[in-house]
């Protein structure tokens, strides 16, 4: 498998020093209170703005956390070409821009505090961005504004580290919707290379299937009658080119409407178990991860997908890897990124994944941190052909990629499984390929 070139631009080790005189006499006593209200907008042309808080340093000698990476941009070759092309973004040179604010709209101590811009940092995009080599573009303190209280004294200072790292990825695509058991190909430019096949079924797990040991009884009611009240028994197997099953995912907790409504809620989410072959026991499966999904209602409904890496079948020591909202109408990306705070489609920040210090479950490399995977899926009623990107450092063999294909299939099918259960005849005909 040949990877595609990606570059990771990381902005980390953020810290802010603000002389008290810059705040004005009425705000001097609020310096400590405002420590939780320092923030910045990080802008790169062609990418969504990323917002993150900035720690306010309590003393001139304090040093920001050198391991924190609150913001990352992942650049494909086409992104780099655009950034390096003069006037591609209506300016002579593209640049990374960090706008720093203090305060927020609200109140403190009964007095309104308005969010104020106190400075700005700019870094021009240069030829070194396209060389594909690790490089530190900036590291240290820099003044970002004037001291409005006294122009002869220092103004606010920002500490940051801006770094470029090569971050090659494998890119895969399901060639058809998951329910039609499509082939999975690797993308390399215009070349498509078959790698896996995907086998979907909604039948009961037979006693001869190794997965049967994980599944509870599906009851005696007919499949059609059951799916009017719940969606269960769905199973996806990933096969290599020789036809051997190398990963699987199946529903362990049915997707059922909660009491008083017709959709799957957070209080009773559906769940998938993602498994891989057990190397110690032939024809057996080893638990790898658990994906939960439910529907969030609002002006624009979303599907929440929450993924835990499992240490064992009993669930002891599970590690939260990702919790992401995906637009039910437009679709979106399910992402596992160990450094970055997740920003959901609703704009609500979700804490960074918890770290157990051991990421061997992600692959034999045992290397954690940074981007792990992304899976792009379409919204309800659209022909979703998931596109999956995997960080090369987590993939040591074809079987490592297969487990992420099973997880991606489960994410895609969760969009379907979380659809409201009450459908008009017209809607049922529209989604007839899912056999409601």
CATH code at position 71: 2.60.40
Quick one: pLDDT at residue 423?
52
- 367 within domain boundaries: yes
Q: Give the residue among 7, 6, 33 at the shortest CA–CA distance from 18.
A: 33
Q: How many Å apart are CA 186 and CA 196, to the nearest integer?
A: 9
The whole domain housing 375 covers 169-434
Cβ neighbours for 362, distance < 8 A, ≥ 6 positions apart: 309, 368, 372, 394
Are 365 and 396 spatial neighbours (Cβ–Cβ below 8 Å)? yes
Are 55 and 18 spatial neighbours (Cβ–Cβ below 8 Å)? no
Choosing from 105, 137, 164, the residue where a domain stops is 164
Q: Record the tokens describing residue 209, joined without a space.
A: 């299937």
Are 375 and 334 spatial neighbours (Cβ–Cβ below 8 Å)? yes
Say which residue the tokens 């099953």 belong to: 245
Q: What is the number of domains present in the chain?
A: 2
Quick one: pLDDT at residue 383?
86
Same domain flag for 140 and 193: no
Quick one: pLDDT at residue 266?
93
How far does the chain reach from its first CA to its final CA, in angstroms? 38
Q: What is the chain's pLDDT, residue by residue, as a tens digit (436 residues)?
A: 889 999 999 999 999 987 766 555 444 444 544 555 789 999 999 999 999 999 888 777 778 888 888 889 999 999 999 999 887 777 778 999 999 988 765 544 444 457 788 889 999 999 999 898 999 999 999 998 776 655 566 788 999 999 999 999 999 999 999 999 999 999 988 899 999 999 999 865 544 555 555 544 333 334 444 455 678 899 999 999 999 999 999 999 999 998 888 889 999 999 999 999 988 887 789 999 999 999 999 889 999 999 999 875 444 568 899 999 999 999 999 999 887 644 333 334 444 444 333 334 444 333 456 889 999 999 998 888 999 999 998 898 899 999 999 999 999 999 999 999 865 444 444 434 443 3
Quick one: pLDDT at residue 406?
97
Choosing from 119, 140, 164, the residue where a domain stops is 164
Q: How many Å apart are CA 199 and CA 182, to the nearest integer?
A: 7
Q: Record the tokens describing residue 335, joined without a space.
A: 């992402």
In 260-318, which ranges are E strands? Answer: 270-277, 285-296, 302-309
Same domain flag for 77 and 174: no
- 1 within domain boundaries: no
Same domain flag for 178 and 159: no
Quick one: pLDDT at residue 387?
96
Are 273 and 290 spatial neighbours (Cβ–Cβ below 8 Å)? yes
Give Cα separations from 40 to 19, 99, 233, 312, 398 (angstroms).
Answer: 18, 5, 47, 40, 41
Q: How many Å apart are CA 83 and CA 277, to the nearest integer?
A: 44
Are 150 and 119 spatial neighbours (Cβ–Cβ below 8 Å)? no
Q: How many Å apart are CA 378 and CA 408, to the nearest integer?
A: 12
Same domain flag for 44 and 187: no
Query: 5: alpha, beta or left, given left = phi > 0 and alpha = psi -120 to 50?
Result: beta
Q: How many CB atoms lie within 10 A of CB 174?
A: 25
Same domain flag for 176 and 152: no
Quick one: pLDDT at residue 416?
93
Same domain flag for 188 and 108: no
Choosing from 164, 192, 226, the residue where a domain stops is 164
Quick one: pLDDT at residue 401?
96
- 2 within domain boundaries: no
Q: How many Å apart are CA 216 and CA 218, to the nearest integer?
A: 6
Are 354 and 384 spatial neighbours (Cβ–Cβ below 8 Å)? no
- 314 within domain boundaries: yes
């Amino acid at each position: 498998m040949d990877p595609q070139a990606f570059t990771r631009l990381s902005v980390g080790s953020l810290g802010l020093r603000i002389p008290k005189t810059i705040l004005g006499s009425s705000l001097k006593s609020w310096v400590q209170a405002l420590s939780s209200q320092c923030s910045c907008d990080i802008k790169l042309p062609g990418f969504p703005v990323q917002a993150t808080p900035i720690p306010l340093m309590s003393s001139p000698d304090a040093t920001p956390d050198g391991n924190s990476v609150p913001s990352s941009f992942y650049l494909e070759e086409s992104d780099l070409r655009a950034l390096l092309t003069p006037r591609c973004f209506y300016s002579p040179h593209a640049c990374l821009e960090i706008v720093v604010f203090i305060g927020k709209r609200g109140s403190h101590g009964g007095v309104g505090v308005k969010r104020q811009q106190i400075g700005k940092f700019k870094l021009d995009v240069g030829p070194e961005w396209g060389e594909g080599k690790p490089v530190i573009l900036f590291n240290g303190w820099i003044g970002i504004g004037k001291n409005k209280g006294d122009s002869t004294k220092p103004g606010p200072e920002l500490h940051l580290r801006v770094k470029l790292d090569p971050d090659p990825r494998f890119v895969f695509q399901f060639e058809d919707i998951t329910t039609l058991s499509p082939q999975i190909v690797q993308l390399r430019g215009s070349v498509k290379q078959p790698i896996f096949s995907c086998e979907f079924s909604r039948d009961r797990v037979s006693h001869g299937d190794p997965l049967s040991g994980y599944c509870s009884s599906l009851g005696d009611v007919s499949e059609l009658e059951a799916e009017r009240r719940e969606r269960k028994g769905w199973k996806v197997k990933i096969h290599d080119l020789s036809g051997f099953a190398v990963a699987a995912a199946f529903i362990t907790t049915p997707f059922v409407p909660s009491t008083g409504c017709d959709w799957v809620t957070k209080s009773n989410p559906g769940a998938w178990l993602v498994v891989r072959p057990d190397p110690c026991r032939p024809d057996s499966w080893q638990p790898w991860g658990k994906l939960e999904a439910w529907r969030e209602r609002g002006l624009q409904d979303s599907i929440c997908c929450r993924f835990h890496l499992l240490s064992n079948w009993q669930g002891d020591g599970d590690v939260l890897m990702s919790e992401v909202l995906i637009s039910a109408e437009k679709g979106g990306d399910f992402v596992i990124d160990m450094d970055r705070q997740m920003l959901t489609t609703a704009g609500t920040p979700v804490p960074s994944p918890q770290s157990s210090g051991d990421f061997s479950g992600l692959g034999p490399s045992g290397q954690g941190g940074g981007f792990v995977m992304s899976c792009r899926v379409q919204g309800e009623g659209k022909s979703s052909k998931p596109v999956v990107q995997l960080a090369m450092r987590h993939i040591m063999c074809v079987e490592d990629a297969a487990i992420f294909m099973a997880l991606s299939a489960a994410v895609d099918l969760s969009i379907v499984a979380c659809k409201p259960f009450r459908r008009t005849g017209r809607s049922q005909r529209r989604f007839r390929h899912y056999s409601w």
